Structure 1
């Protein structure tokens, strides 16, 4: 079995165009469940809005 590096990406990163396309799916909820459930304690909604309204 080949050795795996734990720093290898599991999935390729989004291209800028794909990131904008994915950000357009956001519903911009007032009390966003993605922000409440984020294990990194960040604000995904704010991040998504910064991509979408770039």
Structure 2
């Protein structure tokens, strides 16, 4: 579970399920970006070939 306060940045792994609901149920705005895995791998380099998975959001 990831707890994010206003101004925080978190990262979700591909395929990870989340509900997007605020913990305190107060209205909140979200901004999301989605990275193409192949493009990210190309930019990051060969060291991460096969994928990257975060363990801490």
Which TM-score tier does this pair reach, normalised by the shorter chain? under 0.3
Higher helix share: 1
The higher-RCO structure (CA 8 Å, 6+ apart) is: 2
